[in-house]
Structure 1
Amino acid sequence: MPHLQFEVNKKIIDGVKREFIKQIQNSFAEVMQTKTDHIAISIKEVEKYDLSIGRAIEGDEICLMNLDIREGRSIEQKREVALRFMSIVNNLFEINNRNQYITFTQHNGNDFHLIERYLASWQKGEDPLA
């Protein structure tokens, strides 16, 4: 059950957020070879100067992404997701690619809990909620 967290220093309208969530879910599911119904996404809007990244110009819009995922994905899969997410952030949130930063944190499957159960470790082509 990935938790994909996006922190931005600007306000985003609801319609754009809905499209963003749809594109993020579909991109993650496609690249990571899983389904969408267990993907958790949070979008946090903060004030202009609440975020910083060294390479950004002061006052620029920034997006920091923390992606908590299950172990087992390749560096190629993680890189593909990173590039897709950066493109989506750029297109929908209009944040320069240079002002985006992604951190992956990998967990054992049993670190992710739903009311029904915890998840197993990731396996290609799985249905994590089956």
Structure 2
Amino acid sequence: MPHLQFDINKKLNSKDKNKFCKYVRDSFGKIMKTGTDHVAISLRELKKDALSLGRAKDNEYVCFMNLDVRVGRSVKQRRELVKCYVKAVNQFFSVNKENQYITFTLHNGRDFNLYEKSLENWIKDDDPLNKK
């Protein structure tokens, strides 16, 4: 169950947040070769001075992403996801690409839990909540 966290120092409108979350979820499924029912997204709006990135100028918006995912994804997949999400944050919320910072935390499947079960380790094209 990936937990995709976005911290941004900007007030956002509900319509854009909903569209963004759908885009994030759908893109994750496509790039990471998995279903999307188990994808968790946190989008936190913080005050302007609550985030700081060394290369950002004063009063510029920034976005930090912490992407908790299951082990097994390739560097190529992770880089594709980074580029996809940086472009999306820029397009949806007008945060400069240079003012975004992304970290991945890789977990074994059993680290991710829903009410009904723990997830298994990732395999290509899995859909952990819709196993036959």
Q: TM-score range by the shorter chain?
A: over 0.9
Aligned to 2:24: 24
Superposed CA offset, 1:15-53 (max 9, x none): 000000011011110000001110000000110010000
Aligned to 1:33: 33
Shift of 1:58: 0.9
Aligned to 1:100: 100
Partner AA of 2:34 in structure 1: T
Aligned to 1:8: 8
Q: Secondary structure at the residue paired with 2:37?
A: coil
Shift of 1:69: 0.2
Corresponding position: 1:43 with 2:50:
no
Q: Which runs of 4+ in 1 moved over 2 A?
A: none
Q: Secondary structure at the residue paired with 1:35?
A: coil
Shift of 1:87: 0.5
Shift of 1:72: 0.2
Partner AA of 1:76 in structure 2: K
Shift of 1:128: 1.0
How large is the Cα RMSD of the aligned pairs?
0.5
Q: C-alpha separation between the residues in 1 aligned to 2:126 and 2:40?
A: 17
Q: C-alpha separation between the residues in 2 aligned to 1:55 and 1:65?
A: 16
Aligned to 2:127: 127
Q: C-alpha separation between the residues in 2 aligned to 1:8 and 1:125?
A: 31
Mapping of residues 70-81 of structure 1, within 5 Å: 70-81=70-81
Q: Which runs of 5+ in 1 are unaligned?
A: none
Partner AA of 1:105 in structure 2: T
Overall identity of the aligned pairs, in %: 50
Give the TM-score taking structure 1 as reference length: 0.99
